[in-house]
Amino acid sequence: MTERPILFRPEMVRAILDGRKSQTRRIVKPQPVAGVRNSPFVPSQLEDGHGREIRCRYGYIGDRLYVRERWAVCDHCGVVDYAADPSRCCRGCDGPRPTRWKPSIYLRRDDSRLTLEITEIRMERVREISEDDARAEGMTTGWFGLARWEFRELWERIHAKDGFGWDVNPFVWMLTFKVIP
């Protein structure tokens, strides 16, 4: 079992904490240019059209991911406060929320409050997401077809500027996880 970091935005951390999010999709880097095929000859069981193994950088089933999220140190009580938490300092010191949040990439392992265990991994195109999978991604819309639409809008906001928008339909790793108490 290996443990690796994974970054999440505050709204997605909130969805995990609320029990609404049990999947995440991450862009496969580099993108396979010659297709993808199943292969019994490599550990990941996936290779590109040239026979090179495609490995998921997040690990394998059973590996753990510790969540890095936006954070700050409370000016009043000196403990770590998380941007995903509502209202005032989460430790009850009644101090105001910090004003200078630090990027999630700088959160130390010791300060991470969420550990996820990978229960399923698969590679797919981002537009192959089903309505049920969109809800497992934390989308809240309950009407048929609208959770997928909500996911599409979120995907565009996050990835279009980097050239991996919905219309490009990049390959993604679909990771299903459970929270480790």
E strands along the chain, which residues? 3-7, 23-27, 36-38, 46-48, 64-68, 71-73, 80-82, 115-125, 171-180
3-state secondary structure at position 53: strand
Residue 90 pLDDT level (bands cut at 50, 70, 90): low
pLDDT of residue 164: 97
pLDDT of residue 12: 96
pLDDT of residue 35: 84
In whole angstroms, give the CA distance from residue 123 to residue 144. Answer: 25
Residue 95 pLDDT level (bands cut at 50, 70, 90): low
Residues found in the chain: 181
pLDDT in tens, 104-154: 999 999 999 999 999 999 999 999 999 999 999 999 876 666 999 999 999
pLDDT in tens, 4-63: 999 999 999 999 999 999 999 999 999 998 888 989 988 888 898 888 899 999 999 999
Cis ω before 86 (30° cut-off from 0): no
Bigger pLDDT: 99 or 140? 140
Cα angle value 173/177/181 (rounded, 5°): 150
